[in-house]
Amino acid sequence: MSRAKRKIDHIRHAISHERDLHNHFDDMEVVHQSIARLNFDELKIGMKVGELNLSSPFFVNAMTGGGGEETKTINAQLAAAAKETGVGMAVGSQMSALKNPEERKTYEVVRETNPEGIIFANVGTEASLEQAREAVEMIDADALQVHMNTLQELIMPEGDRDFSKRLTSMQKVIDGVGVPIIVKEVGYGMSRETAETLYQMGVRHIDIGGRGGTNFSKVENMRRERALSSFNNWGIPTPASIMETTIHQDMYVFASGGIRNGLDGAKAIILGAYGFGMAGSLLKVLMNEGQNALIETIHQVHQELKIAMMLLNASSPADLQGVEYVLYGHMKEWYDQRIH
């Protein structure tokens, strides 16, 4: 099967696989405050995230790695929507474009479409320092996402098996690439131990990419003759992973994985995140309803975020951090056993 065909398969499976009925953000309720003190029209949603100045805490997360006209069109549409709404955007893995220069245009189109926007490059943990630099240069990126996806690789028949040298090569990238690094998961979440190791390596931005949304165990199992379904529910749910990883004041957590709307995003910030990303659900809107619907969806996420801010008297997203909330069910058990 060609790489381009594999990527399109991925997209189809990623937007169509069965979602869990339960989303762990529903185990969290924010304490409503009746007395409003702010003017909705004056609310600001800009956010400083470590070295990054974002006009919104929301961003379009990494999707559609690999070449082909179809992925190039998708990237151009995502970039146009990000430009129109003033949000950041991560491109999908650039690893195959680093090996096949004819695929570079799939990514270059993102910077061409949105010359002034915040754009994150994306490579795997196997990338060398030279490859990481080239990925950044390809799209004049503001930061570099380095994704960790061990379980996805293990389920893929053609996936990587040897991770014994990954930390060594990641350290070279962290030390030498020259733009902020965002180490990221792809839907299995990050633990406190992972965050601590990354912190010791000098990483100051992570995207915890937790369980609850796009599920790469299910996506890859849809492509296997004999599914390894026992791992379909592996991983740390997104809210739990935010609680696990907000351990250092100067380590900035982006939340992603199953974020459905601006209220989930506000909850992520309340738990300590500095930003939140959506991938699969945005792609689904784009593929099924088109670019205008995607733009409307992003506007709605901002509106929901601002309604939550208004109700909690938070004049900026940063003011949401630490407001009162209550946990139930799975998240309360996680909190009791792991956090306190």
Per CB under 6 A, does 258 bind ligand FNR?
Answer: yes
Toward ligand FNR, which CB reaches closer, 3 or 313? 3
Task: Read off the tokens for 257.
Answer: 């994985």
Contact predicate 254/182, CB 8 Å: yes
Binding test (CB under 6 A) with ligand FNR, winner from 209, 235, 262, 275? 209
- Residue closest to ligand FNR when measured from CB atoms: 213
Find residue 256's DSSP bridge partners: 277
Per CB under 6 A, does 65 bind ligand FNR?
Answer: yes
Residue 82: CB atoms within 10 Å = 27
Contact predicate 228/274, CB 8 Å: no
Task: Read off the tokens for 206.
Answer: 């992570």
Per CB under 6 A, does 92 bind ligand FNR?
Answer: yes
Contact predicate 49/274, CB 8 Å: yes
Was 63 annotated as part of a binding site? yes
Toward ligand FNR, which CB reaches closer, 21 or 35? 21
Burial state string for 303-317 with b = 16 or more CB within 10 A and e = fewer than 16 = ebbbebbbbbebeeb
Per CB under 6 A, does 283 bind ligand FNR?
Answer: yes
Toward ligand FNR, which CB reaches closer, 10 or 267? 10
Single-letter code of the amino acid located at 145: Q
What are phi and psi for residue 307, nearest 5 degrees?
-65, -45
Binding test (CB under 6 A) with ligand FNR, winner from 71, 75, 77, 93? 93
User: How many residues at the interface with ligand FNR, by CB under 6 A?
Assistant: 28
Per CB under 6 A, does 297 bind ligand FNR?
Answer: no
Per CB under 6 A, does 72 bind ligand FNR?
Answer: no
**CA within 13 Å, CB half, 145:** 32
Tell me which residues touch ligand FNR (CB under 6 A): 10-11, 14, 61-65, 92-93, 122, 145, 147, 184, 186-187, 209, 213-214, 256-259, 278-281, 283
